Homo-oligomer: A and B are copies of this chain.
Amino acid sequence: MNPANKMEQLSAYMSGKGLKSTSQRDYIADTFFRTNTHISLEELLGKVRRKHKGIGYATVYRTMKLLSESGLALSRQFGDGQTRYENLPADGHHDHIICIKCSKIAEFHNPKIEALQSEAAKKLGYTVVNHKMELYGYCADCAVKDREA
C-alpha cells in the first residue's frame, strides 16, 4: 500500500468516528507513511517540524495513537523505553536483534528462516501471513566490555 492509499484509509477511519481532518494531522500522517523504519515520536516530530515548525509534541503523540488504533501503524516496544512506530509493508519487512545490555537494535532479513517458518506452520495446519521475530543477545561492543570486565 502506498502513502496515498493509506491517507485514504485513514480518512475513512476518521470520518467513521466523527473525527476531523486537520492540516497538522494530515501532515504528520503523510510524513509517517513515507518512512521505512521504526520511528520514535522524537524523530517524527523532528521531521514534521522541518516543514511545520509550530506542531506540538502532543499532536504528534495523539496522531500516532490514532494511526495505531486504525491499524495503519504498528507500535512496538524494544525495551529501550521508547515506543516506536512501524510503517506497514513499505519495501518489505525485517526482523530485529536487540542488545540486552545497551538496547542497540540491528535489522536483518532471512528468507531461509521464513521458509522454515511456513513449513513448521504447515505441519500444524496453519498458513503464515506475517510474523514477528526478535532476537536478544549481546552486540559486539557489549560482548567486548563483558570479556574485559
Contact = CB atoms under 8 A, between A and B. Distances in A.
Interface in A106-122: 106, 108, 110, 112-113, 116-117, 120-121
12 contacts: A69-B100, A100-B129, A100-B130, A108-B121, A108-B123, A125-B140, A126-B138, A126-B140, A127-B137, A129-B136, A129-B138, A132-B134
Interface of A: 17, 68-69, 71, 74-75, 77-79, 83, 97, 99-101, 106, 108, 110, 112-113, 116-117, 120-121, 123-140, 143, 149
A123 B69 CA distance: 34
How many copies the complex holds: the figure is: 2
Nearest to A17: B149
Contacts of A125: 106, 139-140, 143
